[in-house]
Amino acid sequence: MPVERRSAHVRLYAPHTAPKREPGSVLAMSAPARTRVVGALVLAISAISCAAIFFRRAAPTHPLVASGTRLLVAALLLAPLVWRARVAGRLPAPVLRSAALGGVAYAVHFGAWVTSLTMTTVAASVTLVAATPVVLAVVGFATKKDRPTSRHVVALAIASVGLLLIGGADISDSGALLGDALALLGAVAMAIYMLIARRHGPTLDSWAYSGVATAVGAIVLLGVALVAGIPIAFAGWRPFAYVVLAALLPQLVGHGLVTWCLRHVRPTTVGIATLAEPVGATLLALLVLGEVPATTTVVGCALALFGVSLAMSGQSH
Would you state the pLDDT for residue 124? Answer: 80
Would you state the pLDDT for residue 54? Answer: 94
Tally of CA atoms within 13 A in the half-sphere of 125 that contains its CB: 26
**Inter-axis angle of helices 206-227 and 63-87, nearest 10:** 140
Q: Of 188, 202, 206, which is closest to residue 136 (Cα–Cα)?
A: 188
Q: The whole model's pTM is what?
A: 0.75
Would you state the pLDDT for residue 116? Answer: 92
Q: Of 82, 274, 101, 111, which is closest to residue 196 (Cα–Cα)?
A: 101
Would you state the pLDDT for residue 291? Answer: 81
Would you state the pLDDT for residue 165? Answer: 80
Q: Of 207, 202, 246, which is closest to residue 80 (Cα–Cα)?
A: 207
Domain ranges across the chain: 47-313
> What Cα–Cα distance (Å) separates residue 253 from each residue in 40, 124, 146?
9, 24, 25
Would you state the pLDDT for residue 245? Answer: 94
Would you state the pLDDT for residue 172? Answer: 64
Low-confidence ranges of the chain (pLDDT < 50): 3-24, 27, 315-317
Reduced 3-state DSSP string for the chain: CHHHHHHHHHHHHCCCCCCCCCCCCHHHCCHHHHHHHHHHHHHHHHHHCCHHHHHHHCCCCCHHHHHHHHHHHHHHHHHHHHHHHHHCCCCCHHHHHHHHHHHHHHHHHHHHHHHHCCCCCHHHHHHHHCCHHHHHHHHHHHHCCCCCCHHHHHHHHHHHHHHHHHHHHHHCCHHHHHHHHHHHHHHHHHHHHHHHHHCCHHHCCHHHHHHHHHHHHHHHHHHHHHHCCCCCCCCCHHHHHHHHHHHHHHHHHHHHHHHHHCCCCCHHHHHHHHHHHHHHHHHHHHHHHCCCCCHHHHHHHHHHHHHHHHHHHCCCC
* pLDDT tens, position by position, 189-206: 998 998 888 787 777 888
Would you state the pLDDT for residue 317? Answer: 35
Question: CA-to-CA distance for 35 and 29, rounded, in angstroms?
Answer: 9
Question: CA-to-CA distance for 273 and 267, rounded, in angstroms?
Answer: 10
Question: CA-to-CA distance for 253 and 218, rounded, in angstroms?
Answer: 18
